[in-house]
Homo-oligomer: A and B are copies of this chain.
């Protein structure tokens, strides 16, 4: 189903607007008499709020309101960006209040101020005095699970937020009897999205009493619902508008600023209030990526075929649920359709601690799981002195494999081709051999890692998408979706798919990029790498309706049967002879203005996608390290993706390179650190938290293996998150290859690699 538009590197729909500085982001809207909100944060990791003294702040000229726990509804609400569920047991954990009466991490939001300008708001926030009763705190999930540890929330024994696992086959029995049995433990670092645009939202109360929120969010329709829940209002009383976004990466798949700013506007008679988080707040008061410790206990037969694995994972969730109950479940589900297991037992525990809240972040637990799994695979291969690729190949699932839990079936499988091309591109066999016998202080290695991922959340989640199209009189078309452009290029691929199916050129399709929950089709938003896959169904269905309507009008005009007509590149043509019959514009005009048959050509559909497709891929990389310094230099790194049909190669590449840089950051430099003494974040800023700049990035390559999935209308599968999954283990495995040192804990910072070399006895003296 690829063709004239799908598969081409057309220019992004938002390219010009963005490079010209005209694209409107949340903070770009000029609003007269806009007030400014600021937050008051707890200095304690765990403390009861005894009293909030508002007087000094309120006495400041230009301060309109000071709000705390006493001033907001006491209805716990969930913050995770998931669709609502009719089944109470399937709903997200509701443990948030707009302002808390118990601070659960250093930075927790205990009060807010509203003032006429930012300086006044900052001064007022500093003048709010809070009496706390300090409570014991715990930062480490294992300690948090211990008897007698401080408790963060009622109803969660041992601070365990969730422990949804899976048990398939006789794992423990197999482990007892297998030929080989291997145990390895891995752990990952807490990192942060650090998306370009901080959280920001503006709210006012409309004349009809409804709350109108403009927010930088990935999930406007979910924000509507959660704000309604938090403020105990009918959800339709909240209107959420999403303009352009400067990135999200999952950090805006959470409802964070919106209930607060909504409460703020309600406190000042509905006047518009803007609440913008500064970078320090983004680091601690939004979301982070879970640090997870993952232990594999794996057994194999005498031919090195995997048999069973017992996975135990402990996820450090921080202070509030957010997505924590769901992430480890997703991660331990998404790795399964890669290697063939006869049995598996997965026992994850997500644990509350007095750290900032972890939440959704690109990969949704899968980067952590993939790190552990793919290190484990290399470690197994190494134990058996096998080539890591050969070992993996032996154990891969294949086409037709059915996940025993979800019953999702592998309907396309590009992994073997990814491996073939990856090996060739990196010079695998030659370098594996060459680098086996290095001397000297500089050592090279090649490593690789595979991954599997889903396209959306089915069957765990509900996958509703909506698409609406109007064909204009000139044959151009406007597409509205509820799915969100958040910088990833969604609008562009949506337009391509629509153009392809309607039979229009790309330029004739425009996309309404702003979602307004009152009028946008319903869709739960940008997450789970779902949009290209799931929304593709809705677009294809709506576009097919449009196309058929065009042919019907053209049939009336030509006297030909509609089934003999097709559309292509803005024209109606004869299916058999390919004769050009008329521009689509002529049919459109007829549809608008025929005195008897006039009916402008439109379509609106909602699809419930009850299928899923596995995306696959690999990273191959070559690194060089220095045994004197522990520094790792990536000489070459290549991601290969089987994402089904590549709708737009250029934007797909952009996704891959961005994801790779996040993976490299997690692997080497990024690490959010907390003082063990009091739990405060040590590096909540872009100076101390080390994100690689463009200058720091190694040369990156990417290749696509388009194993078109038969389940989706364009053969498309997911690509958004996958690029982040495999770089870290590939780098770690290359280091293992270069030095024989297996580092099981992320990040591979220079300091830690240095220490590992030291421990392994391979550290060399610096030359002077």
Contacts and interface: CB of A to CB of B under 8 A. Distances in A.
Given A606-B602, A608-B599, A206 B462 contact: no
A23 B16 CA distance: 32
A600 interface: yes
A743 to B, nearest CB: 43
Contact of A604 (B207, B475, B590, B604): B604
A136 interface: no
A473 B208 contact: no
Contacts of A56: none
Contacts of A606: 598-600, 602
A595 to B, nearest CB: 6
A589 to B, nearest CB: 7
Given A462-B593, A593-B83, A604-B604, A236 B476 contact: yes
Report the copy number of this chain in the oligomer. 2
Interface string A749-767: 0000000000000000000
A438 interface: no
Contacts of A249: none
A20 interface: yes
Q: Is the interface of A mostly helix, strand, loop or mixed?
A: loop
B86 A594 contact: yes
A470 B235 contact: no
Contacts of A604: 468, 602, 604
A592 B522 contact: yes
B522 A512 contact: no
A593 B84 contact: yes
Nearest to A13: B208
Contacts of A522: 470, 592, 600
B22 A207 contact: yes
A648 to B, nearest CB: 17
A474 interface: yes
A32 interface: yes
Given A510-B518, A600-B466, A473 B30 contact: no
A302 interface: no
Contacts of A207: 16-17, 20, 22-23
A590 B464 CA distance: 13
Contact of A84 (B30, B462, B592, B599): B592
Interface in A16-47: 16-17, 20, 22-23, 30-32
Contacts of A84: 473, 589, 592-593
A157 interface: no
Contacts of A17: 206-208
Given A464-B592, A519-B480, A474 B235 contact: yes
Nearest to A606: B599
Contacts of A466: 600, 602
A593 B510 contact: no
B590 A86 contact: yes
A118 to B, nearest CB: 19
A342 interface: no
A406 interface: no
A285 to B, nearest CB: 28
Interface in A687-740: none
A414 B531 CA distance: 58
Interface in A175-211: 206-208, 210
A478 B600 contact: no
A462 B591 CA distance: 12
A519 B598 CA distance: 18
A85 B593 contact: yes
B236 A473 contact: yes
A277 to B, nearest CB: 24
A633 interface: no
A462 B85 contact: no
A236 B508 CA distance: 9
Given A22-B207, A462-B593, A470-B522, 20 more contacts: A16-B208, A17-B206, A17-B207, A17-B208, A30-B30, A30-B32, A86-B589, A225-B473, A228-B474, A234-B474, A234-B475, A236-B472, A236-B476, A237-B474, A464-B598, A464-B600, A519-B519, A596-B608, A598-B606, A598-B608
30 contacts: A22-B207, A83-B593, A84-B473, A84-B592, A86-B589, A86-B594, A208-B510, A210-B510, A228-B474, A234-B585, A236-B475, A236-B508, A464-B592, A464-B598, A464-B600, A470-B518, A472-B517, A472-B518, A478-B518, A478-B519, A480-B519, A512-B518, A512-B519, A521-B600, A522-B592, A596-B608, A596-B610, A599-B606, A602-B604, A604-B604
Interface of A: 13, 16-17, 20, 22-23, 30-32, 83-86, 206-208, 210, 225, 228, 234-237, 462, 464, 466, 468, 470, 472-476, 478, 480, 508, 510, 512, 517-519, 521-522, 585, 589-590, 592-600, 602, 604, 606, 608, 610
The 9 tightest CB contacts between A and B, nearest first, are A236-B476, A234-B474, A16-B207, A236-B472, A17-B207, A236-B474, A522-B600, A30-B30, A478-B518
